[in-house]
Structure 1
Amino acid sequence: MKNLGEMLLRQDPFSEIVLGNTALARAMIESGTEVVTSYPGSPTPEIASALLSVPGEKRPFYFQFSTNEKVATEVACGASLNGHPSCVFFKSVGLNVAADSFVQLSLLELEGGLVAVLGDDPGANSSQNEQDNRHFARMAYIPVLEPSSPSEAYRYYLEAMALSRRQKMPVILRMTTHVCHGKEKVAFGAWKGGSVSTESRFDTSGGPMVPLTASALEMKRRSLARLSLAGCEMDSPAFCEVRKGTDSSRGVITAGLPFRSLLDVLEDSDRTPDILKLGAVYPLPEKAVEEFLRTHGQVKVLEELDDVLEKDIKALAFDRGIRVSITGKTDDDDRIGEYTPDKVAEVLAKTWPDMVPLRGAKRQPSLAPRPPQMCPGCGHRSAFHAIRQALAKEDITVADIGCHTLGFLPPYEMGEVLLSMGHSTGTGAGLSLFNRSRKVVSFIGDSTFFHAGLPGVVNAVFNNHNLTLIVMENGTTAMTGHQDHPGAGRNANGPSETIPVRGVLEGLGVKSIREVDAYSQGKLIEMVKEAMAEEGFSVVIARHPCMLKYTREQQRSPDYVRKSVEVNQETCDRLHVCVESFGCPSFQRDEDGTVTVSRELCIGDGSCIQTCPVKAIGLRKENRGGEKA
């Protein structure tokens, strides 16, 4: 597509090959969604990228990156209460942050409607766990639609928003990594155009909005009634598709990505089961499921992660007295990982080996695994290389969420425990209690600092905990695609007030604050040692711009000249500090021990020069053609 923003605003029906996330962005526009909020996190950031491709003056919606998922949920909720169709989206574990407010949504009268797009992450591709957010839906009494493809993501969002507006209740659209990032030719409908309404429709006449003891139980009763009505609407052919196979005695009930993988697995099979594909997974479409159970002798429930559908389906069969053999998870391995075709073949073969032999299910990867690593020139690498020299072997380091989490890996091995965004100061504080012999150092990025790090800092000041916090400040939310944060000086809609990290720390009462460029390794070593020697809470801000973002911006200039470093082979004595301790992927060691520099990877930042004990590394001067000047 030539211009994504123009495509999203087309008013005539059209078809285009798009990501699932892009299909959602178009669905938001078509459905008249007026307010969209988010905190960036894989697998959902491309939704924001698509929305932001629409020029600001042409946007028929308001969009913001909020400081965290809880705030994003609250902003979307407030907008919906005021009559604006709203959407909030974030990644799987983001719901943990949002949960305190999220679980209250179904109790309210959401006049404008609200769709929550959750990017679940089976396989933990970019998350610290595989949590199954269908459990949250049950706890919060919120219906769930689960698409299996970009086309369904588009269609289900339209259905979800329409349902939400009719019932004035939240609806979850549960995406998973492969559906978010999968590509398909999607047939989009017409769009009449529009703009954000300025009418205020906040109204409490329909019932209380404050769940105190006097009203909370009645609000729950209303929530349950709406959930039941939503379940009846979703128990329909629009969300329950039956595909006939060659063996009518056996059937599979599935949803989402496993459905697509199942079709792939069965493509060459002579014997195939009937398939009931569910688009609505909570509440369970009881009518469609009951009919399917009554017409089959054996039924396999095929679902990623937890046995949520399986338990509901077995309970339904028991309650209705349906005599059918139902098989779901057979062992713990069935609960782990994405249900790609190989995984589905393996799972299905354990139940019906005659139908699905274990062909390819144990296939070994053809390529050696490549560990994740920080980009060439990353300030975090320079910081870790220095900080490691400031610490004693027995000192304790606490990681946090962000690019700097990769410091856990060799050669840096910094960060020995990780829970969630912003946890490092609190966890470090706990590790420091009654700890007289070992220093505790916690790490946090600047985006995470604003997201969830402030309460831990307040607690450390309030209780005078004895630890050092190192803020790895690179000026962006780098890991998820360089989104802005409160310290960046701009937001999704243009320039904004810069909230400085140091100013926030001072405002919270932190007395010991040091700042240094992460490339100044000698100064950073000295500052960390000084901070750790102090009693009480101390902070070191190790600042350097994200070099991937900076380099990309520089490359847009017609005056850009690519730079790199080189190794003086006459000076190099093959101590391999550049490879084994500094660890920049630009350095490559040959079998004979010779170290060379990949000019494709090196950005010529020069942060490595100071790490060489014999000063064998130096800048190479190049012209635009890439030849040595």
Structure 2
Amino acid sequence: MGINQGPISLDQKYTQQSGHVFLTGIQALVRLPMAQIRRDRAAGLNTAGFVTGYRGSPLGGYDQQLFAARKHLEQYNIKFQPGVNEDLAATAVWGSQQLNLSPGARHEGVVSIWYGKGPGVDRCGDVFRHGNAAGSAKNGGVLCLAGDDHGAKSSTVPHQSDHAFISALMPYLYPSSVHEMIEMGMLGIAMSRYSGCWVGMKVITETVETTAEIDLTDEMKPFIIPADFEMPPGGLNLRWPDDRYDQDRRLQDYKGFAAVAFARANKVNRITMDSPNARYGIMASGKSYEDIRQALRELGVTPEVAAKIGLRLYKIGMPWPLEPQGVREFAVGLEEIFIIEERREIVENQVKQELFNWRDDVRPRIIGKMDDHDKRFLPFAEELSVASLASSLTERLLRLNLNPEIAAMLRAKADWFNGRQATQMQAVAPVTRTPYFCSGCPHNTSTRVPDGSRAFAGIGCHFMALWMDRNTETFTHMGGEGVPWVGVAPFTDEKHVFANLGDGTYFHSGSLAIRQAIASKANITYKILYNDATAMTGGQHVDGELSPQQITFQLHSEGIRDIYLVSENPDAYPASDIAPGTKTAHRDELDAVMKTLRQVEGASAIVFVQTCAAEKRRRRKRGTLEDPPRRVMINPAVCEGCGDCSVQSNCISVEPLETEMGRKRTINQSSCNKDYSCLKGFCPSFVTVDGGKLRRRAPAGLGDIGDLPEPASRPSLDQPYNVAVGGVGGTGVLTIGALLGMAAHIDGKASMILDMSGLAQKGGAVLSHVRLSEHPADVTCSRIVTGTADLVIAADEVVAVAKETITLCESDRTFGVINTHLIPIADFIMNRDFNFQSRKVNSVLETALRKDSSFFDFTRPAEVLLGDSIATNMMMMGYAYQKGLLPLSAKSIEQAIEVNGVAVKMNTQAFQLGRLAAADPARLAAMMKSQDETVAPKTLDAMSLDEIIAHRSALLTDYQDEKLAKRYRDLVTQVRNAAVNGGFGDELPRAVAINYAKLLTYKD
């Protein structure tokens, strides 16, 4: 493709005005208002921009990107003001359209963009209805971004904002890919200005969390003003004074029709594939449009095959209101129309309505959620996939009188997909990686409740207490925390409950829930978890001023008299700074405080103050927060592996240490956030070091790696090349996908990268779908189709065997580069003897991947040679490159590392070390040995019975004397002989050999 010749920087995604740019869907939405202001300036308009809303996945990172781009936004008079909550933000948008009413207006209009998660759309119903009725400004315009999560990957319920927009009579657009985000966004603003409507735009993970290279050629193309719509006197835009009946008349009689006319003039809905004698039609919008295009490719339906079948494809950019003229033109001559939508149908019912009056002999059958016999066809609940659509489409096409060769091809392809889906349904991972509280997370302590009590959950990281041993049950929407108890309390003999409420939610809307609880006189204790960050969406601060002291005064003013402020440092909150009567306590006294408050009549409150552990870590790195000088370590010789430290701390940094003596415990010093809760067990194996610093292994001198041979071959891009990159959230996994995409951009190739993260930043699984191709037109669907991964790079075996990863693999196609280093999972905290199922995990991977796949502990050389396990991912990418598994050049990958600008030297060295590991593993081993001569001991599971006896005998001799060792051997020998004589195996003698030695060396 050879697009990029000049220097590349990360700022180009906002500053470049022609050619191609490489950006994420979120970044495209940041670029959108800048592009609109540029367009306005070119037209001689003096406009400004206003962006507001409330974060939530899949738009959880939008505010962070807007803050990061502030210098670019300011050049275009664009103001970003996060909302306290979604409906107040939408109210501010309503106000922005009233600028022309202000005598001091400095601009001719304000382009306004509102954003929010699907539930945020729901809570804005009243504002949307009023704002849309009032209208938009002639030179302003309103675009409302709805972040939908159809599969509830990062939500408490699946959501679909379509019906909320329809209820408010707001037209809405649905981009199908990141490539359309800016174009459709500006079209929505233009439509809003023309029609007076607020216009919605539906975005989902597959668009906003996808990274791609987009062409800017059409960014400034003009929009067409309809010639077939007659504006009423006075137009359709906002005005004052304005009678509500006049507003409703404009809305019902004109505005929606104006939007439809605008959509028709600009071909928002259009035929994108046709046949000379078309007889079968397919209609789809958004993600489903790209899914069905990919399904056609997977089925082998080329343009030539499509013409023989008689296919016609209709792309719908505005699902509601559906423009009728285009639908009728599309439907002419068709026998059947297959309408593809995720979740509840929108387009299907409109098409049926628009074609209802056609004669029976010319009206096509409509197939979608229901078939022509009113039987369910497409699912209502699940997300649709390329594989499922390929099967469903084939089922319908085979009813036509097809060419026998085409029918046989479709049947064979569909059978393959059906087989893959059956396998997918049966896939059960031996172990799973569940999201969990971070190391040192305040919620490890704050979400506990006393014996005999229970708590209600709500929105925030503390929601994860639901799957822990915390006696926490049920949850509410954001802002309803604790209020279900108001409906339960009058009808139960249970006297009291606790309700967890995060500080972000408290500021958003949760304070009203407390007011309701007070009004009801229910016996409830709110635990307001003040963590100083909205950690669930990336660590943002609340959007305003809020302190623990303020919260106590607010609670007191509402009428609560029993208030405790619990923290690590109670002395920091003198009585003069907090509400009258508020008591302070150390967090170690939380249990006693809760027992006191559960006896109180009415509402009471605990303000639990402890900064988010992840945010503490960030601030310590920046030098804005003191780094405590104390380190905690565990002496494995003293540790008995009882697991009480995990019980006390609930901390994932307390990890298993497999030794010759069995499983012990160790503190992962890299991830430890110095909460020190693990010390509460008063275990003699724990050692605290004050004032000392970790002796960091200096990176090895790697200047002697020299020139490495280029791979013998690299994959061809005749077809898209699919790479799945998996690992644990927070360890740099997503960076690998981003670097591969940037390297492709530098090489002049196309790419799409979809990051499936969910709760990954809480230690859960993360998976990037990376699709590389020679031309952008070759990759339109961002998600890798089941069974079509060419390469899996997995930094964690548990993520590699997860259903989401393993179903992408095909044993005769998919290469694996798998890190065998054990990364503990949350189950270990609750089960000290948890079986990590290593053999089953390896067996699953060996079955799913090609036989020449690579399994290697990449973490060990990263730590030994580079001093940081974070280099593991980059080493794996280098290894994959050297094995000839990446269709990119080493030069472009190293340049991508430079452009990224983070730890450039270390990441470049890690990439080179990964190449060395593949090209000359013996040399890598020699380099490691020169840096670290220690030999890892055998683990107990790997030792034979004779090795155990020999090892324990030597230990007992050192512990006391040879006499004790002989006593040990005598008993073990006696048991062993009895087992042999009885025809039993080594299981009993092995248990005796292990535990008798432990008994003889018992430590008090």
Separation in 2, partners of 1:86, 1:77: 9
Between Structure 1 and Structure 2, whose CA radius of gyration is higher?
A: 2
1:239 corresponds to: 268
2:82 to 41, 65, 71: 65
Tell me the distance in 1 between the aligned counterparts of 2:126 and 2:650: 41
What are the Cα deviations for residues 269-311 of structure 1, in whole angstroms up to 9, with x where unaligned? 2345432111111111212222222232121111111111111
Once structures 1 and 2 are overlaid, which stretch shifts more, 289-298 or 366-375? 366-375
Residue from 631, 640, 643 that aligns with 1:576: 643
Shift of residue 585, structure 1, vs aligned partner? 2.0
CA gap 1:349/1:603 in 2 versus in 1, 3 angstroms: farther
Q: 1:564 to 1:370 in 2, by over 3 A?
A: farther
Matches within 5 A, 1:328-343: 328-330=368-370, 331=376, 334-343=379-388
Does structure 2 conserve the Cα–Cα contact (< 8 Å) formed by 1:251 and 1:296? yes
Q: Deviations over 1:170-223 (max 9, x none)?
A: 00011111111111112236999xxxxxxxxxx999777689xxx434322211
1:53 to 1:34, Cα distance in 2 relative to 1, 3 A? same
Equivalent position to 2:451, from 386, 391, 405: 391
CA 275–205 in structure 1, closer or farther in 2 if over 3 Å, else same? closer
Answer yes or no: is 1:139 the counterpart of 2:176: no
SS of 1:67's equivalent in the other structure is coil
State the match for 1:270 in structure 2: 300
CA contact (8 A) 1:124 1:337 kept: no
What is the CA distance between 1:413 and its match in structure 2? 4.4
Aligned residue among 84, 105, 123 for 2:151: 123
Q: Distance in 1 between matches of 2:387 and 2:433?
A: 21
Q: Deviations over 1:431-473 (max 9, x none)?
A: 3224333421111100100111122211222332211111111
Structure 2: which amino acid aligns with 1:504? Q
Whether the aligned pair in 1 keeps the contact of 2:33 and 2:111 (CA below 8 Å) is no
User: Which of residues 77, 102, 106 in structure 1 aligns to 2:94?
Assistant: 77
Q: Secondary structure at the match of 2:537?
A: coil
Tell me what 2:551 maps to.
Answer: 501
**Other-structure match for 1:221:** 249
The residue that corresponds to 1:423 in the other structure is 480
Cα 1:105/1:55, change in 2 over 3 Å = closer
SS at match of 1:433: helix
The answer to whether the 8 Å contact 2:454/2:471 transfers is no
Distance 1:410 1:205 in 2: 55
Q: Find the aligned partners of 1:382 and 1:498 in 2 and give their Cα distance.
A: 18
The answer to whether the 8 A contact 2:524-2:598 is kept is: yes
| Aligned residue among 12, 20, 26 for 1:15 | 20
CA distance, structure 2, for counterparts of residue 606 and residue 599 of structure 1: 12
Q: Which residue of 2 aligns with 1:251?
A: 281
Aligned-residue RMSD, C-alpha: 3.2
Aligned to 2:536: 479
Give the conservation status (yes or no) of the 8 Å contact 2:61–2:537. Answer: no
- Are 1:38 and 2:50 counterparts? no
**Secondary structure of 1:510's aligned partner:** coil
Q: Contact 2:368/2:378 (CA < 8 Å) preserved in 1?
A: no
- Tell me the amino acid that sits aligned with residue 266 of structure 1: L
Partners of 1:279 and 1:210 lie apart in 2 by 35
The 5-angstrom pairing of residues 274-423 of structure 1 reads 274-321=312-359, 322-330=362-370, 331=376, 334-349=379-394, 351-352=396-397, 355=410, 357-358=414-415, 359=417, 360-364=420-424, 368-384=431-447, 387-388=448-449, 390-392=450-452, 395-414=453-472, 416-423=473-480
Amino acid across the alignment from 1:421 = M
Distance 2:145 2:356 in 1: 33
**Alpha-carbon distance between aligned partners in 1 of 2:69 and 2:79, rounded to the nearest angstrom:** 11
What per-residue deviation string (whole Å, max 9, x for no partner) do you get for residues 531-565 of structure 1? 11111110011111111112022123499799864
User: 1:166 and 1:619, CA in 2 relative to 1: closer, same or farther beyond 3 A?
Assistant: farther
Q: Which amino acid aligns with 2:35?
A: E
Out of 143-152 and 241-250, give the one that drifted further.
241-250
CA shift in 2, pair 1:250/1:119, >3 Å: same
Residues in 2 aligned to 1:181 and 1:581: alpha-carbon distance in whole angstroms: 38
Q: What's the CA shift for 1:575?
A: 2.9
- 1:2 Cα offset (Å): 7.0
Letter in 2 for 1:605: D
Q: CA deviation at 1:498?
A: 9.4
Q: Which amino acid aligns with 1:555?
A: K
Task: Check 1:345–1:618 CA distance in 2 against 1; reply closer, same or farther (3 A cut).
Answer: farther
Verify: 1:544 aligned to 2:559, yes or no: no
Check conservation: 2:193, 2:237, Cα contact below 8 A: no
Cα distance between partner residues in 2 of 1:426 and 1:90 = 24
Using the alignment, how far apart are the partners of 2:587 and 2:85 within structure 1? 32
Q: Please tell me whether the aligned partners of residues 176 and 207 of structure 2 are also in contact (alpha carbons under 8 angstroms).
A: yes
Tell me which moved more, 418-427 or 457-466: 457-466
Q: Is the 8 A contact 1:23 1:186 kept in 2?
A: no
Residue 63 of structure 1, CA deviation: 0.8
Q: Percent identity among equivalent residues?
A: 22
Report the alpha carbon displacement of residue 572 of structure 1 after superposing the two structures with TM: 3.0
Do 1:382 and 1:518's aligned partners in 2 also have CA atoms closer than 8 Å? no
Q: Deviations over 1:301-344 (max 9, x none)?
A: 11111111111112222133452121102548712233342343
Matches of 1:553 and 1:207, distance apart in 2: 46
Q: Do 2:567 and 2:608's aligned partners in 1 also have CA atoms closer than 8 Å?
A: yes
Task: Determine which of 674, 678, 703 is the counterpart of 1:608.
Answer: 678
Question: What CA distance in whole angstroms lies between the structure 2 residues aligned with 1:563 and 1:309?
Answer: 62
Give the drift of 1:408.
0.6
SS at match of 2:437: coil
Separation in structure 1 between the aligned mates of residue 340 and residue 568 of structure 2, nearest angstrom? 49
Conservation of the 8 A alpha-carbon contact between 2:84 and 2:544: no
2:125 is aligned, of 96, 99, 112, to 99
Q: Look up the SS of the partner of 2:251 in the other structure.
A: helix
* 2:206 alignment partner, one of 165, 178, 193: 178
Mark the CA change 1:3 to 1:484 in structure 2 (over 3 Å): closer, same or farther: farther
User: 3-state SS of the aligned residue for 1:276?
Assistant: strand
Of the structure 1 ranges 298-307 and 429-438, higher mean CA displacement relative to structure 2 is found in 429-438
Tell me the distance in 2 between the aligned counterparts of 1:413 and 1:590: 30
CA contact (8 A) 1:115 1:171 kept: yes
Aligned letter for 1:65?
P
Question: Given residue 332 of structure 2, which amino acid in structure 1 is its aligned partner?
Answer: R
Q: CA deviation at 1:521?
A: 4.4
CA contact (8 A) 2:466 2:474 kept: no
Aligned twin of 1:200: none
The TM-score, its normalising length taken from structure 2, stands at 0.56
The answer to whether the Cα contact below 8 Å between 2:345 and 2:369 also exists between their aligned partners in 1 is: yes
Tell me what 1:90 maps to: 116
Unpaired stretches in structure 1, ≥5 consecutive residues: 193-202, 490-496
Counterpart residue identity of residue 57, structure 2: S
Q: Matched residues in 2 for 1:315 and 1:308: separation?
A: 11
Cα deviation for residue 488 of structure 1 reads 5.2
Q: Give the whole-Å Cα distance in 2 for the aligned partners of 1:206 and 1:188.
A: 30
Does the C-alpha gap of structure 1 residues 530 and 352 become closer, same or farther in structure 2, counting only changes over 3 Å?
Answer: farther
Residue deviations 1:354-409, cap 9 Å, x none?
6461513345369654211111111111222xx23x131xx332111001101111
TM-score by length of 1: 0.87
Does the aligned pair in 2 maintain the 1:37–1:73 contact within 8 Å? yes
| Structure 2 residue 652 is matched with structure 1 residue 585 | yes
Residue 664 of structure 2 is matched in structure 1 by: 594
Number of residue pairs the alignment of both structures matches: 600
| 1:622 lines up with 2:693 in the alignment | yes
Greater share of helix residues, 1 or 2? 2
From the superposition, tell whether residues 597 and 149 of structure 1 become closer, same or farther in structure 2 (CA, over 3 Å): same
- Give the Cα–Cα distance (whole angstroms) in 2 for the partners of residues 29 and 573 of structure 1: 61
Q: What SS does structure 2 have at the residue aligned with 1:524? A: helix
Mapped partners of 2:9, 2:559: distance in 1: 48
SS of 2:640 mapped into structure 1: coil
Question: Is the partner of 2:446 in helix, strand or coil?
Answer: helix
Measured in 1, the distance between the counterparts of 2:388 and 2:212 equals 22
The structural deviation recorded for 1:230 is 0.5
